[in-house]
Amino acid sequence: MTEKLLEIKDLSVIYKTDEETVYAVNDLNLTLNKGETLGLVGETGAGKTTTALSIMRLLPDRTGRITRGCITLGDLDITRASEADMRLIRGNGISMVFQDPMTSLNPILTVGEQIAEVLQLHRLDMSPEQKEKRVDEILEMVGLPADRKHEYPHQFSGGMKQRVVIAIALACEPQLILADEPTTALDVTIQAQILKLMKELKQRLNTAMLFITHDLGVVAQICDRVAIMYAGEIIEIGTTDNIFEGKKHHPYTVGLFGSIPDMTKATRRLNPIEGLMPDPTAPLGGCKFHPRCPQCMEICKTAKPLNIIDGTHAIGCHLFAGGAGHDARINLESTGGAE
Protein backbone atom coordinates (compact mmCIF):
# COMPACT_ATOMS: atom_id res chain seq x y z
CA MET A 1 0.00 0.00 0.00
CA THR A 2 1.10 3.54 -0.58
CA GLU A 3 1.99 5.28 2.61
CA LYS A 4 2.95 8.91 2.82
CA LEU A 5 6.55 9.47 3.86
CA LEU A 6 7.30 13.08 3.07
CA GLU A 7 4.85 15.89 2.71
CA ILE A 8 5.69 19.44 1.70
CA LYS A 9 2.92 22.00 2.12
CA ASP A 10 2.97 25.57 0.76
CA LEU A 11 6.72 25.80 1.08
CA SER A 12 8.26 29.18 0.31
CA VAL A 13 11.95 29.85 0.56
CA ILE A 14 13.79 33.14 0.08
CA TYR A 15 17.43 34.11 -0.05
CA LYS A 16 17.88 37.54 1.41
CA THR A 17 20.92 39.72 1.04
CA ASP A 18 21.42 43.41 1.73
CA GLU A 19 20.74 44.20 -1.87
CA GLU A 20 17.95 41.94 -2.93
CA THR A 21 15.60 39.13 -2.06
CA VAL A 22 15.50 36.05 -4.24
CA TYR A 23 12.21 34.17 -4.19
CA ALA A 24 13.62 30.70 -4.83
CA VAL A 25 10.68 28.47 -3.97
CA ASN A 26 7.07 29.68 -4.02
CA ASP A 27 4.18 27.78 -2.45
CA LEU A 28 5.41 24.35 -3.33
CA ASN A 29 3.30 21.28 -2.55
CA LEU A 30 4.62 17.78 -2.86
CA THR A 31 4.10 14.36 -1.34
CA LEU A 32 6.35 11.38 -1.58
CA ASN A 33 5.25 7.86 -0.69
CA LYS A 34 7.33 5.11 0.86
CA GLY A 35 9.55 3.32 -1.60
CA GLU A 36 8.71 5.70 -4.42
CA THR A 37 11.08 7.58 -6.72
CA LEU A 38 9.95 11.06 -7.60
CA GLY A 39 11.85 12.96 -10.29
CA LEU A 40 12.14 16.70 -9.79
CA VAL A 41 12.89 18.21 -13.18
CA GLY A 42 13.68 21.76 -14.12
CA GLU A 43 16.32 24.07 -15.47
CA THR A 44 19.04 25.90 -13.59
CA GLY A 45 17.50 28.26 -11.08
CA ALA A 46 14.12 26.53 -10.95
CA GLY A 47 14.55 25.88 -7.21
CA LYS A 48 15.17 22.12 -7.30
CA THR A 49 18.26 22.14 -5.10
CA THR A 50 16.75 24.73 -2.75
CA THR A 51 13.82 22.38 -2.21
CA ALA A 52 16.18 19.54 -1.34
CA LEU A 53 18.25 21.73 0.97
CA SER A 54 15.07 22.84 2.76
CA ILE A 55 14.15 19.21 3.41
CA MET A 56 17.60 18.68 4.93
CA ARG A 57 17.46 22.09 6.63
CA LEU A 58 20.79 22.87 5.07
CA LEU A 59 19.90 26.27 3.63
CA PRO A 60 22.73 28.78 4.04
CA ASP A 61 22.45 30.21 7.54
CA ARG A 62 22.45 33.94 7.03
CA THR A 63 20.70 34.28 3.72
CA GLY A 64 18.32 31.37 3.22
CA ARG A 65 15.01 31.23 5.06
CA ILE A 66 11.83 29.21 4.90
CA THR A 67 9.15 31.88 5.06
CA ARG A 68 6.04 29.76 4.84
CA GLY A 69 4.79 26.21 4.86
CA CYS A 70 5.85 23.01 6.49
CA ILE A 71 7.72 19.85 5.64
CA THR A 72 6.76 16.68 7.47
CA LEU A 73 8.65 13.43 7.47
CA GLY A 74 6.44 10.78 9.08
CA ASP A 75 5.17 12.61 12.17
CA LEU A 76 8.01 15.09 12.46
CA ASP A 77 7.72 18.67 11.27
CA ILE A 78 11.17 19.37 9.86
CA THR A 79 10.65 23.10 9.61
CA ARG A 80 10.16 23.31 13.37
CA ALA A 81 12.54 20.62 14.58
CA SER A 82 15.48 21.60 16.76
CA GLU A 83 18.99 21.53 15.34
CA ALA A 84 19.78 18.58 17.64
CA ASP A 85 16.87 16.60 16.22
CA MET A 86 17.92 17.47 12.69
CA ARG A 87 21.39 16.07 13.35
CA LEU A 88 19.81 12.75 14.20
CA ILE A 89 17.82 12.81 10.98
CA ARG A 90 20.54 13.83 8.54
CA GLY A 91 22.37 10.78 7.27
CA ASN A 92 20.04 8.53 9.25
CA GLY A 93 16.43 9.27 8.27
CA ILE A 94 17.22 11.32 5.19
CA SER A 95 20.51 11.39 3.36
CA MET A 96 21.70 13.28 0.37
CA VAL A 97 23.77 12.43 -2.70
CA PHE A 98 25.29 15.55 -4.14
CA GLN A 99 25.93 16.41 -7.75
CA ASP A 100 29.66 16.58 -7.84
CA PRO A 101 31.45 13.54 -6.43
CA MET A 102 34.78 15.30 -6.93
CA THR A 103 34.02 17.91 -4.27
CA SER A 104 31.59 16.18 -1.93
CA LEU A 105 34.18 13.84 -0.41
CA ASN A 106 36.79 14.90 2.11
CA PRO A 107 40.18 14.64 0.38
CA ILE A 108 42.15 13.95 3.56
CA LEU A 109 40.11 11.04 4.93
CA THR A 110 40.13 7.56 3.45
CA VAL A 111 36.83 6.45 1.97
CA GLY A 112 36.48 3.83 4.72
CA GLU A 113 36.77 6.52 7.38
CA GLN A 114 34.19 8.63 5.61
CA ILE A 115 31.67 5.82 5.53
CA ALA A 116 32.41 4.92 9.15
CA GLU A 117 31.81 8.56 10.14
CA VAL A 118 28.09 8.17 9.48
CA LEU A 119 27.98 5.01 11.58
CA GLN A 120 29.87 6.67 14.42
CA LEU A 121 27.26 9.42 14.54
CA HIS A 122 24.15 7.32 14.23
CA ARG A 123 24.94 3.76 15.33
CA LEU A 124 26.22 4.29 18.82
CA ASP A 125 25.43 0.71 19.80
CA MET A 126 27.77 -0.78 17.18
CA SER A 127 31.17 -2.03 18.25
CA PRO A 128 34.20 -0.94 16.20
CA GLU A 129 34.38 -4.44 14.67
CA GLN A 130 30.74 -4.29 13.64
CA LYS A 131 31.28 -0.88 12.10
CA GLU A 132 34.27 -2.18 10.19
CA LYS A 133 32.18 -5.06 8.92
CA ARG A 134 29.36 -2.77 7.92
CA VAL A 135 31.79 -0.56 5.92
CA ASP A 136 32.99 -3.62 4.01
CA GLU A 137 29.44 -4.74 3.39
CA ILE A 138 28.29 -1.40 2.11
CA LEU A 139 31.30 -1.03 -0.19
CA GLU A 140 30.60 -4.44 -1.72
CA MET A 141 26.97 -3.45 -2.10
CA VAL A 142 27.82 -0.44 -4.27
CA GLY A 143 30.23 -2.55 -6.31
CA LEU A 144 33.59 -1.55 -4.88
CA PRO A 145 36.10 -4.06 -3.50
CA ALA A 146 36.21 -3.77 0.31
CA ASP A 147 40.01 -3.70 0.39
CA ARG A 148 39.99 -0.29 -1.26
CA LYS A 149 38.58 1.33 1.88
CA HIS A 150 42.05 2.46 2.93
CA GLU A 151 42.44 4.57 -0.17
CA TYR A 152 41.82 8.30 -0.54
CA PRO A 153 39.22 9.88 -2.84
CA HIS A 154 41.83 11.07 -5.37
CA GLN A 155 42.73 7.45 -6.05
CA PHE A 156 39.25 6.78 -7.41
CA SER A 157 37.68 7.75 -10.72
CA GLY A 158 34.57 9.94 -10.91
CA GLY A 159 32.18 7.02 -11.18
CA MET A 160 33.80 5.22 -8.26
CA LYS A 161 33.71 8.35 -6.13
CA GLN A 162 29.99 8.62 -6.81
CA ARG A 163 29.67 5.01 -5.64
CA VAL A 164 31.42 6.00 -2.41
CA VAL A 165 29.04 8.93 -1.96
CA ILE A 166 26.10 6.57 -2.47
CA ALA A 167 27.65 4.16 0.05
CA ILE A 168 27.81 6.95 2.62
CA ALA A 169 24.19 7.88 1.91
CA LEU A 170 23.05 4.27 2.34
CA ALA A 171 25.17 3.37 5.37
CA CYS A 172 22.32 3.85 7.85
CA GLU A 173 19.58 2.67 5.49
CA PRO A 174 17.61 5.92 5.43
CA GLN A 175 13.92 6.10 4.56
CA LEU A 176 14.55 8.86 2.08
CA ILE A 177 17.41 9.72 -0.24
CA LEU A 178 17.68 13.12 -1.85
CA ALA A 179 19.75 12.66 -4.99
CA ASP A 180 20.77 16.03 -6.41
CA GLU A 181 21.86 15.45 -10.01
CA PRO A 182 23.88 12.38 -9.00
CA THR A 183 24.92 11.47 -12.53
CA THR A 184 25.25 14.84 -14.24
CA ALA A 185 29.03 14.98 -13.82
CA LEU A 186 29.54 11.45 -15.18
CA ASP A 187 30.00 9.96 -18.64
CA VAL A 188 27.05 8.14 -20.19
CA THR A 189 28.38 4.61 -19.77
CA ILE A 190 29.25 5.35 -16.12
CA GLN A 191 25.92 7.12 -15.67
CA ALA A 192 24.15 3.97 -16.85
CA GLN A 193 26.12 1.92 -14.31
CA ILE A 194 25.24 4.28 -11.45
CA LEU A 195 21.55 4.49 -12.40
CA LYS A 196 21.35 0.72 -12.50
CA LEU A 197 22.99 0.53 -9.08
CA MET A 198 20.64 3.10 -7.56
CA LYS A 199 17.63 1.34 -8.99
CA GLU A 200 18.68 -2.04 -7.60
CA LEU A 201 19.58 -0.70 -4.16
CA LYS A 202 16.36 1.25 -3.90
CA GLN A 203 14.34 -1.87 -4.62
CA ARG A 204 16.33 -3.94 -2.19
CA LEU A 205 16.13 -1.47 0.68
CA ASN A 206 12.70 -0.01 -0.23
CA THR A 207 14.01 3.52 0.12
CA ALA A 208 12.08 6.48 -1.20
CA MET A 209 14.03 8.83 -3.42
CA LEU A 210 13.70 12.39 -4.58
CA PHE A 211 15.71 12.43 -7.78
CA ILE A 212 16.68 15.91 -8.93
CA THR A 213 17.78 16.20 -12.53
CA HIS A 214 17.42 18.26 -15.67
CA ASP A 215 17.70 15.22 -17.92
CA LEU A 216 14.31 13.89 -19.00
CA GLY A 217 16.00 10.77 -20.36
CA VAL A 218 17.25 9.83 -16.90
CA VAL A 219 13.79 10.47 -15.46
CA ALA A 220 12.20 8.05 -17.92
CA GLN A 221 14.62 5.35 -16.81
CA ILE A 222 14.39 5.62 -13.06
CA CYS A 223 11.33 7.50 -11.76
CA ASP A 224 7.82 6.42 -10.81
CA ARG A 225 6.46 9.95 -10.67
CA VAL A 226 7.69 13.23 -12.10
CA ALA A 227 7.31 16.83 -10.98
CA ILE A 228 8.27 19.62 -13.38
CA MET A 229 9.50 22.78 -11.70
CA TYR A 230 9.63 26.25 -13.13
CA ALA A 231 10.61 29.45 -11.30
CA GLY A 232 10.16 27.94 -7.86
CA GLU A 233 6.82 26.28 -8.54
CA ILE A 234 5.71 22.84 -9.55
CA ILE A 235 3.80 23.42 -12.75
CA GLU A 236 3.03 19.83 -13.59
CA ILE A 237 3.16 16.58 -11.68
CA GLY A 238 2.10 13.07 -12.50
CA THR A 239 3.18 9.49 -12.94
CA THR A 240 5.93 8.89 -15.49
CA ASP A 241 3.21 7.62 -17.82
CA ASN A 242 1.22 10.85 -17.45
CA ILE A 243 4.22 13.01 -18.25
CA PHE A 244 5.74 11.00 -21.09
CA GLU A 245 2.64 9.50 -22.67
CA GLY A 246 -0.16 11.84 -21.58
CA LYS A 247 -1.93 14.09 -24.07
CA LYS A 248 -2.36 17.21 -21.95
CA HIS A 249 0.69 19.15 -20.80
CA HIS A 250 1.73 22.47 -19.41
CA PRO A 251 3.17 24.60 -22.25
CA TYR A 252 6.51 24.67 -20.44
CA THR A 253 6.66 20.88 -20.36
CA VAL A 254 5.91 20.87 -24.09
CA GLY A 255 8.78 23.31 -24.63
CA LEU A 256 11.12 21.25 -22.51
CA PHE A 257 10.44 18.14 -24.59
CA GLY A 258 10.70 20.17 -27.81
CA SER A 259 14.19 21.28 -26.84
CA ILE A 260 15.66 17.78 -26.75
CA PRO A 261 16.98 16.40 -30.00
CA ASP A 262 15.17 13.11 -30.52
CA MET A 263 17.50 10.24 -31.34
CA THR A 264 14.72 8.22 -32.91
CA LYS A 265 13.51 10.91 -35.28
CA ALA A 266 15.22 13.21 -37.74
CA THR A 267 14.22 16.82 -37.28
CA ARG A 268 16.04 19.73 -38.76
CA ARG A 269 15.05 22.36 -36.23
CA LEU A 270 14.39 22.10 -32.55
CA ASN A 271 11.44 23.88 -30.97
CA PRO A 272 12.89 25.56 -27.93
CA ILE A 273 11.11 27.95 -25.62
CA GLU A 274 12.04 31.48 -26.50
CA GLY A 275 13.32 33.81 -23.82
CA LEU A 276 14.68 33.17 -20.36
CA MET A 277 13.47 32.28 -16.91
CA PRO A 278 11.99 35.31 -15.07
CA ASP A 279 14.09 37.30 -12.64
CA PRO A 280 13.62 35.60 -9.25
CA THR A 281 14.16 38.86 -7.38
CA ALA A 282 11.04 40.46 -8.86
CA PRO A 283 8.22 37.97 -8.56
CA LEU A 284 5.78 38.01 -11.45
CA GLY A 285 2.03 38.20 -11.04
CA GLY A 286 -0.16 35.52 -12.52
CA CYS A 287 1.41 32.46 -14.09
CA LYS A 288 5.22 32.57 -13.87
CA PHE A 289 5.54 31.21 -17.39
CA HIS A 290 3.27 33.74 -19.13
CA PRO A 291 5.97 35.98 -20.71
CA ARG A 292 7.39 32.98 -22.59
CA CYS A 293 4.21 31.05 -23.15
CA PRO A 294 3.08 30.70 -26.77
CA GLN A 295 -0.51 30.20 -25.62
CA CYS A 296 -0.65 33.07 -23.15
CA MET A 297 -4.12 34.49 -22.46
CA GLU A 298 -5.23 37.65 -20.64
CA ILE A 299 -6.06 35.75 -17.47
CA CYS A 300 -2.53 34.29 -17.28
CA LYS A 301 -1.03 37.71 -16.63
CA THR A 302 -3.10 38.41 -13.55
CA ALA A 303 -4.37 35.23 -11.93
CA LYS A 304 -2.27 32.39 -10.68
CA PRO A 305 -3.52 29.14 -12.18
CA LEU A 306 -4.88 26.42 -9.92
CA ASN A 307 -3.75 22.87 -10.22
CA ILE A 308 -6.14 21.05 -12.48
CA ILE A 309 -6.18 17.48 -11.34
CA ASP A 310 -7.04 14.56 -13.53
CA GLY A 311 -6.51 11.35 -11.62
CA THR A 312 -2.79 11.17 -10.90
CA HIS A 313 -1.91 14.06 -13.18
CA ALA A 314 -1.96 17.72 -12.12
CA ILE A 315 -1.24 20.73 -14.33
CA GLY A 316 -1.04 24.31 -13.13
CA CYS A 317 -2.30 26.09 -16.22
CA HIS A 318 -5.36 28.16 -17.18
CA LEU A 319 -5.62 26.32 -20.50
CA PHE A 320 -7.09 23.35 -18.78
CA ALA A 321 -9.41 25.21 -16.42
CA GLY A 322 -13.14 24.75 -16.76
CA GLY A 323 -12.94 21.13 -17.74
CA ALA A 324 -13.59 21.55 -21.47
CA GLY A 325 -15.34 18.22 -21.55
CA HIS A 326 -12.72 16.46 -19.46
CA ASP A 327 -13.27 15.17 -16.01
CA ALA A 328 -11.28 17.91 -14.38
CA ARG A 329 -11.74 18.98 -10.81
CA ILE A 330 -10.17 21.96 -9.21
CA ASN A 331 -8.10 21.14 -6.22
CA LEU A 332 -9.12 23.71 -3.65
CA GLU A 333 -6.46 23.00 -1.10
CA SER A 334 -3.47 23.11 -3.44
CA THR A 335 -2.88 26.79 -4.08
CA GLY A 336 -4.90 29.59 -2.62
CA GLY A 337 -5.69 33.18 -3.43
CA ALA A 338 -6.17 33.04 -7.16
CA GLU A 339 -9.66 34.48 -7.23
Partner 1 sequence: MSVPLIETKGLKKYFKTPKGDLHAVDDVNLKIEKGKTLGVVGESGCGKSTLGRTILRLVEPTAGEVLYNGKNILDYGKKQMLEVRKDLQIIFQDPYSSLNPRLTVSEIIAEPIKVCRTITDKAALDDKVYELMETVGLAERLVNSYPHELDGGRRQRIGVARALALGPQFIVCDEPVSALDVSIQAQILNLMMDLQDDRGLTYMFITHDLSVVKHISQEIVVMYLGQCVERASSEELFRKPLHPYTQALLDAVPVPNLRHKQQLTGIIKGEITSPINPKPGCRFAARCPKVTASCTKEDIQLREIAGGHYVACALY
- Interacting residues with partner 1 (CB under 8 A): 43-44, 157, 159-160, 187-193, 195-196, 199, 214-221, 240-241, 244-245, 255-264, 266-274, 276
Q: Are 203 and 230 in contact (CB under 8 A)?
A: no
Alpha-carbon span 6 to 3, nearest angstrom: 9
Q: Are 146 and 139 in contact (CB under 8 A)?
A: yes
**∠ CA 20-21-22, rounded to 5°:** 120
List b or e across 164-195, with b for residues whose CB sees 16 or more CB atoms inside 10 angstroms.
bbbbbbbbbebbbbbbbbbbebbeeebbebbb
Q: How far is the CB of 124 from partner 1 (least distance, A)?
A: 37
**Whose CA is closest to 273, among 42, 23, 29, 38?**
42
Choose between 220 and 324: whose C-beta lies nearer to partner 1: 220
Q: What are the start-end ranges of the E strands in 53-171?
A: 64-73, 76-77, 94-97
Q: How far is the CB of 78 from partner 1 (least distance, A)?
A: 29
List b or e across 223-237, with b for residues whose CB sees 16 or more CB atoms inside 10 angstroms.
bbbbbbbbbbbbbbb
Q: What are the start-end ranges of the E strands in 44-184?
A: 64-73, 76-77, 94-97, 176-180
Q: How far is the CB of 22 from partner 1 (least distance, A)?
A: 15
Q: How far is the CB of 268 from partner 1 (least distance, A)?
A: 7
Choose between 6 and 256: whose C-beta lies nearer to partner 1: 256
Three-class DSSP category at 271: coil
Choose between 26 and 240: whose C-beta lies nearer to partner 1: 240
Choose between 62 and 269: whose C-beta lies nearer to partner 1: 269
Alpha-carbon span 302 to 178, nearest angstrom: 35
Q: How far is the CB of 167 from partner 1 (least distance, A)?
A: 17
Choose between 44 and 82: whose C-beta lies nearer to partner 1: 44
Q: How far is the CB of 95 from partner 1 (least distance, A)?
A: 24
Q: Are strands 64-73 and 76-77 parallel, antiparallel or unpaired?
A: antiparallel
Choose between 3 and 187: whose C-beta lies nearer to partner 1: 187
Choose between 110 and 221: whose C-beta lies nearer to partner 1: 221
Q: How far is the CB of 155 from partner 1 (least distance, A)?
A: 13
Element spanning 237, H or E: strand 233-239
Q: Are 219 and 260 in contact (CB under 8 A)?
A: no
Choose between 247 and 268: whose C-beta lies nearer to partner 1: 268
Q: How far is the CB of 196 from partner 1 (least distance, A)?
A: 5
